[in-house]
Amino acid sequence: MPPAATPPAATPADALGGPWPASARPGPGGEVLVGGVGLAEAAERFGTPLYVLDEGEVRARARAYRRALPHAEVLYAAKAFLCSAIAEWVEAEGLGLDVCSAGELRLAVSAGFPAQRILLHGNAKSPEELRLARRLRVGRIVIDGPAEIARLAALVAADTPQKVLVRVVPGIAAGHHPAVRTGVSGQKFGFAVEGGDAADAIARVLDQPGLELSGLHCHVGSQITQIEPYLRAVDALVRLLAEVRERHGVELPELDLGGGHGIRQVPGDAELDLAEFAVRVTDRLAVRCAEAGLEVPRLLVEPGRAVVGPAAVAVYRVLSVKHGPDGRCFAAVDGGMSDNPRPALYGSPYTVRLVGRRSEARDARVDVVGRHCEAGDVLVRDAVLPADLRPGDLLAVPAAGAYQLSMASGYNLVGRPPVAAVKDGRARLLIRRETVEDFHRREVGR
């Protein structure tokens, strides 16, 4: 019988409880430090709501992917959150970039990201976006629908081919919510394997001399913590690779399994084990290719949330505390669904902590709610917070780096919060706060 695994050593971040960045640690007087910078200190300097982004955590997570998958190509999924600094950090750590709009593409290239290391996604790419991708010489484009084949073929010549992947739907359901289960038929992405749509799209691409089909792509869902869905995706895609060889005499050199790697959102959550993922997926790919008599294609993966999600903390200021007739307590903060729509969209859970002062009061159950005119604007339900919570207090929400600011809106004309990067005890502003003047400047008449 093998010896029991040794549990990982406790870290200062563990003392805080919850999915904090590795650099997080308790400070004096109820303060919490991230990257050596106090969250209350940062809130006083930059105002609230505020997103504090730990540069070291982003870089360390990018490096972890490179170490775990040294022979694969790892592309950071920009849709999780993108700014010029993020593009610089992941490029420096050896990752490519997966973008899905002209805006993400332009920002990345403007930040100096090499276009050849960029992959363009999207289920509805406009002709203008495809022209931009060609002009900037993007490395790969993922074909997601029939119209894109003809549109893209019309933009290229046989002597300057465009590398493409065909996105296929393998019929695998995975993910934390129906809205993000993208590996099953009946939704807007890709070409279904079942029924032959994927095979037909592959044949059409191979008939275009200006398109170089480099491989297959799939994405089965989001916030996935189990490895089994990826293994089943490998099985389905290798079967399709074998069919392509049999039908067309071509072995495709790349296989992209997408991303969707889950992280801890609240204490006790599971997360995708990267080391186990790397071993089991690469082993499964090698075995299935050997069984089919295929060369092993190069593996591509697209983590986004798993790189940036745990690296940020959102900091809010309490504006009011209400006690309802049923005894329910509501703490309203100065942000909400305009900077984090995920609880309203997906029922996503978060944890929250008082920072900036120490309380000896008993614990109380509190709904942390946003400032917007929607009953569903609730950030954290049944949070455990001190019973003496009061206006002016600061609340910190960890695991705030992915799909919050990237999905933020201007609802109620509340500007999007600033982003401050922290590293080695220093903080610097990456993105300033959006103001009413920014909204007004977009108006051109009345």
Residues designated as active site = 373
Query: How far is residue 247's CA from residue 276's CA, in Å, rounded to a whole number?
Result: 34
Nearest 5°: the CA angle 212, 213, 214 is 105
State the number of CA atoms in the 13 A half-sphere of 417 facing the CB: 30
Three-state DSSP at 426 gives: strand
Amino acid sitting at position 365 = R
Closest CA to 62 of 99, 94, 23: 94
Q: Which of 240, 333, 238 is nearest to 43 (CA)?
A: 333
Other Cβ atoms closer than 10 A to 190: 26
Q: Which of 205, 403, 438, 202 is nearest to 304 (CA)?
A: 403
- Identify the bridge partners of residue 314 per DSSP, sorted by sequence position: 51, 397
DSSP one-letter code for 230: H
DSSP classification of residue 249: S
**Quick one: which H or E segment has residue 33?**
strand 32-34
Q: What span, in angstroms and rounded, lies between the C-alpha atoms of 84 and 111?
A: 5
Q: What Rg, from alpha-carbon coordinates, does the chain have? A: 23
C-alpha–C-alpha distance, residues 381 and 328, integer Å: 11
Question: Which CA distances in Å does 120 have to 69, 162, 366?
Answer: 22, 12, 43
